[in-house]
């Protein structure tokens, strides 16, 4: 006797005559009838808490996890399908990956059965669904003779020879030795059987790596002779980047000898346009093992990206070992049916998740340093804190009543700025995190706090009144039990919420500064000028214009607009593309051609630190989706961070980017 099911979802947009329909189809593919069951499912799509459910009832809903039941008395016989239709979602589906990607059935006796789930079918969309990185074939004739991404400041190479079998690295001095070791590590990780670094005995061409004073901090010079090459720089990072350029030239000439050459003379002179060239990875929505994170660092290094923003906490999970609070990883790192965190974003009924031990973090930080990458930890606060608050409910104001919700559908998910025990917790977290991350940067998030947050907390209302007066208090009291977040995340600037969030940020920022560290934050950290502009930076994400506005106010800014640099956004409007769509879409060319400097005044440019790709993970349960969304757009952003605008060329980039690696090796079908 077998109990088994399959689950399919359909999407029908709203029309003039009918509301939207999110169809839910559970088929009994076993050989026994079932009754008294419940169906749980998750994925990026969120059924609205006020939605009607035809032919079923909504039992529980937390963000993108729903638990529904069929009509009373329904018996699902073998081969039969129970169909229910939800008439109401938090946002309409835009792409096939928006729908449910995992499901399970809870039987009448409480046992769970994992259910096979197929991608959501859009009405009228029957084209093959796209996965894997888009292929950019290397042409027979490229606009340039050598393959390098990001493109350097000056390329003045001459001649051509048969590409050497590999490179015999000959470092001179400690920095050169470390740069050579880091380069060899990248080669082994990305191209393990190509043996690009090899001794002279195995056919390696001599490459001298040496110090030269007076070059830019990450700059280098690479020169060629008929039988050798030389890399010089003023820093270990510069030497490393010179070697990466040499390695790219070698791979291009070896793999595509009809298109690219290996020079016999001339010089490449290079330095980056921006000091901050970052990649953010959200490891809370989906968990990435230490091995995956380490391999991403290698891909970043090959693209000359130098800042890794590690997004370690979210509503959906907490991922970092903290000695003082073991509950954070015992409870908040795991999701599953019956747990404090239900299955979310594609996880099933069984316990799913993970976290990084302190030893694992130290290894990753050391690895990153060896390839010129600074690791920046983020613990997002005061919002996006649902998982941690599930693990540590004592951090809530015990007298708070009512419910507010985040834009992602998590209730009461924000640390309360008026509740004093919160600060002991935060300071402990800051201490333990800064001990692990020697770069001396603590990113505190500060984004997307709901407008109605803490409106049922007497302590928060008293704090608002003390700081803003009785009218501000009354204004916030009117938010009580308001869900908010209509049409996107609440805009809170100037609100009572922002008033006390700013007080929270200022206090946490002062503590971070007292430890000699810099505070990072999303653009909301600038509300109320809560952070010392000399000891902080912010990341602009909501739109393109906010970056220049923040710079004009004197904030050091990293440009990462959702419309162009959020790599969870789909590559086009097509249903067949995976990814999100709340910020629009951005194909590789649109991403490449975006110019971070646009709209900045001369004064504002002094505060422009650089750019950052953001990899948000809601839809990336399938790593083939990861490869499609991240590549080649990661290389496009890397070139925008390194190559000055006048030297950028989409035609050149698209001819070369086919030589760049993708993380998981998933390529789109031809």
| pLDDT tens-digit series, residues 226-268 | 999 999 999 999 999 999 999 999 999 999 999 999 999 999 9
Residue 565 pLDDT more than 90?
A: yes
**For the purposes of burial, counting CB atoms within 10 Å of the CB of 468, is it exposed (0-12), middle (13-18) or buried (19 or more)?**
middle
Tell me phi and psi for residue 466, to 5 degrees. -65, -35
Helices (H), 338-484: 358-370, 386-391, 421-436, 458-468, 470-477
Q: Tell me the CA distances in angstroms from 531 to 366, 528, 548, one per residue in order.
A: 29, 8, 18
| Domain coordinates in residue numbering, the chain | 5-122, 154-270, 312-360+381-540
Give the Cα separation of 658 and 670 in Å (integer): 14
Facing residues of 166 across strands? 204
Q: How far is CA 156 from the centre of its chain?
A: 37
What are the tens digits of pLDDT across the range 144-201?
999 999 999 999 999 999 999 999 999 999 999 999 999 999 999 999 999 999 999 9
Domains 5-122 and 312-360+381-540 share a fold: no
CA distance 591 to 636: 6
| 39, pLDDT greater than 80 | yes
- 534 class by beta-carbon count within 10 Å (0-12 exposed, 13-18 middle, 19+ buried): exposed
Query: How high is the pLDDT of residue 423?
Result: 98
8 Å CB contact between 618 and 344: no
Bridge partners, 282 (sequence order): 311
Q: What is the mean pLDDT of residues 552-569?
A: 97
One of 3.30.379.10, 3.30.360.10, 2.160.10.10, 2.60.34.10 is the CATH number of 154-270, namely 3.30.379.10
The Cα 666–Cα 624 span in angstroms is 5
Cis peptide before 632 (omega within 30 of 0): yes
pLDDT computed for residue 371 by the predictor: 98
The Cβ-side half-sphere exposure at 523, using a 13 Å CA radius, reads 22
**Amino acid 18: pLDDT:** 86
Cα 26 to Cα 9, 42, 85, 107: the distances in Å are 9, 14, 12, 13
How far is residue 373's CA from residue 279's CA, in Å, rounded to a whole number?
Answer: 10
Residues 459-515 pLDDT 10s: 999 999 999 999 999 999 999 998 877 778 888 889 999 999 999 999 999 999 999
C-alpha dist (Å) from residue 471 to 417, 450, 462, 467: 19, 20, 12, 11
The answer, yes or no, to whether residue 568 has pLDDT greater than 80, is yes
Total residues found in the chain within this entry: 670
Which structure tokens are listed for 516?
């000699």
What is each CA distance from 362 to 290, 373, 479, 567, in whole angstroms?
11, 14, 44, 27
What's the whole-model pTM score? Answer: 0.98
Q: Is the Cβ–Cβ distance between 122 and 96 less than 8 Å?
A: yes
Convert 576-605 to b/e letters by CB count within 10 Å (16 or more is b). bbbbbbebbbbbbebbbbbebbeebeeebe
Per the CB < 8 A criterion, the answer to whether 404 and 484 are in contact is yes
User: 196 — phi, psi (to 5°)?
Assistant: -70, -30
48-57, 303-312, 362-371, 423-432: which has the minimum mean pLDDT? 48-57
pLDDT at residue 317 is higher than 90: yes
| Average pLDDT over every residue of 89-114 | 96
Mean per-residue pLDDT, 304-316: 98
Q: Per-residue pLDDT for 564 more than 80?
A: yes
Per-residue pLDDT tens over the stretch 272-298:
999 999 999 999 999 999 999 999 999
Share the mean pLDDT of the chain.
Answer: 96
Q: Average pLDDT, stretch 638-646? A: 98
Q: What is the mean pLDDT of residues 11-35?
A: 94
Give me 198's structure tokens.
Answer: 């090899």
Q: Which residues neighbour 178 within 8 Å (Cβ) at sequence distance 6 or greater?
A: 236, 370
Q: Which two tokens stand for residue 646?
A: 């006048």
CATH class in words for 5-122: mainly beta
The second-level CATH assignment, the architecture, of 312-360+381-540 is Alpha-Beta Barrel (3.20)
Please say whether the beta carbons of 277 and 642 come within 8 A.
yes
Paired residues of 356 in beta bridges: 320
Q: What is the pLDDT of residue 489?
A: 84
């Amino acid at each position: 006797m077998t109990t088994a099911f399959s689950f399919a979802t359909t999407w029908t947009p709203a029309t003039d005559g009918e509301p939207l329909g999110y169809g839910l189809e559970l088929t009994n593919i076993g050989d026994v009838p079932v009754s008294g069951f419940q169906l749980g499912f998750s994925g990026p799509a969120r059924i609205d808490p006020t939605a009607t459910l035809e032919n079923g009832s909504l039992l529980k809903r937390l963000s993108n996890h729903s638990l529904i039941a069929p009509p009373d008395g329904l018996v699902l016989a073998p081969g039969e399908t129970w169909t229910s239709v939800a008439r109401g979602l938090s946002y309409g589906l835009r792409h096939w990956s928006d729908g449910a990607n995992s499901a399970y059935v809870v039987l009448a006796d409480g046992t769970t059965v994992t259910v096979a789930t197929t991608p959501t079918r859009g009405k009228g969309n029957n084209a093959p669904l796209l996965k894997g990185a888009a292929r950019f074939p290397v042409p027979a004739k490229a606009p340039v003779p050598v393959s390098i991404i990001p493109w350097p400041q000056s390329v003045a190479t001459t001649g051509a020879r048969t590409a050497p079998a590999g490179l015999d690295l000959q470092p001179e001095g400690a920095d050169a030795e470390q740069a050579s070791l880091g380069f060899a590590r990248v080669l082994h990780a990305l191209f393990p059987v190509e043996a690009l670094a090899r001794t002279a005995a195995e056919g390696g061409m001599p490459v001298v790596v040496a110090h030269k004073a007076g070059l830019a901090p990450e700059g280098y010079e690479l020169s060629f002779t008929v039988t050798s090459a030389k890399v010089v720089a003023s820093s270990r990072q510069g030497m490393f980047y010179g070697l990466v350029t040499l390695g790219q030239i070698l791979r291009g000439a070896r793999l595509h000898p009809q298109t690219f050459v290996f020079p016999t003379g001339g010089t490449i002179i290079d330095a980056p346009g921006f000091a901050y060239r970052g990649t953010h990875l959200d490891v809370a929505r989906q968990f990435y093992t230490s091995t995956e994170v380490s391999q991403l660092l290698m891909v970043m290094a090959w693209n000359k990206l130098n800042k890794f923003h590690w997004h370690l906490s979210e509503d959906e999970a907490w991922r970092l070992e903290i000695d003082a609070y073991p509950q954070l990883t015992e409870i908040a790192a795991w999701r599953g049916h019956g747990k404090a965190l239900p299955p979310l974003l594609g996880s099933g009924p069984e316990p799913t998740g993970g976290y990084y031990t302190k030893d694992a973090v130290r290894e990753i930080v050391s690895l990153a340093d060896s390839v010129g990458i600074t690791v920046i930890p983020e613990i997002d606060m005061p919002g996006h804190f649902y998982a941690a608050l599930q693990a540590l409910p004592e951090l809530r104001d015990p007298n708070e009543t009512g419910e507010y919700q985040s834009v992602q559908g998590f209730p009461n998910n924000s640390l309360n700025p008026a509740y004093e025990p919160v600060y002991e917790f935060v300071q402990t977290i800051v201490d333990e995190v800064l001990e692990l991350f020697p770069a001396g940067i603590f990113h505190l998030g500060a984004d997307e706090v709901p407008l109605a947050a803490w409106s049922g907390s007497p302590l928060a209302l008293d704090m608002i009144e003390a700081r803003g007066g009785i009218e501000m208090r009354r204004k916030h009291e009117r938010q009580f039990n308001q869900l908010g977040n209509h049409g996107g995340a609440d805009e809170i600037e100037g609100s009572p919420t922002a008033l006390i969030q700013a007080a929270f940020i200022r206090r946490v920022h002062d503590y971070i500064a007292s430890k000699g560290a810099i505070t990072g934050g999303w653009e909301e950290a600038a509300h109320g000028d809560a952070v010392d502009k000399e000891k902080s930076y912010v990341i602009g994400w909501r739109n393109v214009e906010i970056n220049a506005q923040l710079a004009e106010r004197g904030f050091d800014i990293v440009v990462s607009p959702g419309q162009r640099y959020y790599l969870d956004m789909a590559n086009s409007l097509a249903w067949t593309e995976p990814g999100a769509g709340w910020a629009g879409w951005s194909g590789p060319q649109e991403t490449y051609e975006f110019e971070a400097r646009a709209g900045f005044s001369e004064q504002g440019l002094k505060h422009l630190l650089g750019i950052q790709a953001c990899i948000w993970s809601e839809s990336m349960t399938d790593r083939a989706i990861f490869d499609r969304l991240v590549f080649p757009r990661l290389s496009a952003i890397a070139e925008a961070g390194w190559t000055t605008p006048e030297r950028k060329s989409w035609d050149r980039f698209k001819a070369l980017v086919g030589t760049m690696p993708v993380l998981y090796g998933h390529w789109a079908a031809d």
